[in-house]
Chain A
């Protein structure tokens, strides 16, 4: 039950001229699951290591429930980190790996054995205690690593790219497992990932870090609906950025005058909307209706990606492949952009 707060955290590695992490501030409420999202080399893992005490910050502070932990040794912080490549001790059995933290705390062997049994049950690997890690699949190793971390009942759990080494079907299984264990135990959890899908799937809140600085810290859906700037929108798969001016209600641009949702910013800016929010047809009241020409068709199985041309402007759209009979290059396609899905940055 720990409220983690990161204040102006900065790390400049010896010999480096630019900071790997530049004044990152973040509040992670007790029991929440937060993602640090960003491309590789943006300072995510550096941040985790500083929270865990494995790396010393150049400046800034990390507090747990208001108390600075920078002077605490890593083993005294109550923070456990699960690494991306699991790092199970190869010469130990699965059970010894899981019981490692308790053994280091000099717990009674009988108690260790009992709790290791319970923990393996919890991660659904009850019969694998005697195996060596090398005899396990990637997904099983991941679960052992998780069990090894959770057995010491940490206040804060740090996960480094927890889903990225897993197959698609294992990802959802592991996601459910991590979420249910995390909710059950109420552990404040931070994980880092470069994959926006992983962040959205797993996290309560997402902190997007680009170039060592935090861009936006919000609930996952906000990044799709209300990105703070073009770089953020692009990171989340945004493609449509159309320059123009907004008066708060109408956006005037090459596509024409489009009506905006409540609360849109005013002045010069860029109109953005997600490809999947481009609708086929003129819409019920012909609001924001446009006529486009199909310039390119990419069939992706469950969806079809279209490059459309409205006058001189290119619009990216993702549509249901079965919504109309066929999509052919050169065809004219009426579309509309629901005003609730538009946003000005």
Chain B
């Protein structure tokens, strides 16, 4: 076939087709099925009257609110801490110094480590029967290993946040570093020569310039940490559990009636993270560049 006869528009459409197919069928298809089930609508097993009972039971359950607060705390704290540390790391790494390429390599190394592996590492190191607890006991800093502060399965989700921070710093850092390198240092030179101090130059010039990169990276991190299941499942306390863990529990409940509730919860998680990201983007844009 002579491709040259096709209009540009047709060509673009054909090229996008495979990707569009996956998005439409898998993503929207899954979303539609989930949505239908969350409304108790499932003609296959005779449920043809949609209702809101699953949503009502989600929103009347106290555990849901506690889980939401915990999940928000995990996502927000991890995003803020890893963004700040990543910007700091990028500021150091963009300078030239001896051994820079080695440090750079080490900095990015854990991008290749799966979350799950990292979480198990955390468990080995930080649990009350883990390496640090034993070391502390060995050196007489604590009487029993179980006196070690609870950093995993703890109510403040410190273990989960540590794991996310450890994993996301290089992710945000690499994006911010690339951003800084493409911007160069001339804008900062201008600011310095116009009388800005080092801090003012960072606050009023570099930060606004790298802001789009930081924003998109941190939105990705927030959305991921808000909706991820495996880390809170491994490192989190039993009650309250993070929202995705709660949803999965409902889904695998022996009582099949809990499934619509699981679906409703998943839909709520998606909506909540969309709403929070919207407000985050709006607020921070005004704050940094305004």
Contact = CB atoms under 8 A, between A and B. Distances in A.
A149 B194 contact: yes
Between B187, B194, B197, B209, the greatest number of chain A beta carbons within 10 A of the residue's beta carbon is seen for B194
A248 to B, nearest CB: 50
Contacts of A158: 193
A87 B186 contact: yes
A164 B107 CA distance: 42
A101 to B, nearest CB: 4
B190 A152 contact: no
A54 B189 contact: yes
Interface string B85-101: 00000000000100000
Contact of A91 (B189, B200, B208): B208
B193 A104 contact: no
Contacts of A81: 189-190, 193
Q: Binding site of B, secondary structure by majority: helix, strand, loop or mixed?
A: helix
A172 interface: no
Nearest to B190: A87
A276 B274 CA distance: 73
A105 interface: yes
A101 B187 contact: no
A237 to B, nearest CB: 32
Given A89-B208, A91-B209, A104-B204, A80 B289 contact: no
Between A14, A75, A148, A158, the greatest number of chain B beta carbons within 10 A of the residue's beta carbon is seen for A75
A152 B194 contact: yes
Contacts of A74: 189, 192-193
Given A89-B208, A91-B208, A83 B186 contact: yes
A89 B192 contact: no
B195 A105 contact: yes
Contacts of B200: 104
Interface residues of A, number: 26
A148 B186 CA distance: 15
B193 A148 contact: no
A148 B208 contact: no
A100 interface: yes
Interface string A59-95: 0000000000000011100011101010101110000
Contact of A100 (B96, B191, B211): B191
B17 to A, nearest CB: 35
Interface of A: 14, 49, 52-54, 73-75, 79-81, 83, 85, 87, 89-91, 100-101, 103-105, 148-149, 152, 158
13 contacts: A49-B189, A52-B193, A54-B192, A75-B196, A81-B190, A85-B186, A87-B190, A89-B208, A89-B209, A91-B211, A100-B196, A104-B191, A104-B194
Given A87-B186, A87-B187, 18 more contacts: A14-B96, A52-B189, A74-B192, A75-B194, A75-B196, A75-B197, A81-B193, A83-B189, A87-B190, A89-B208, A90-B209, A91-B208, A100-B194, A100-B204, A103-B204, A104-B197, A104-B204, A148-B194
Report, nearest first, the 5 A-B pairs whose CB atoms are least far apart.
A101-B194, A74-B192, A104-B196, A81-B193, A75-B195
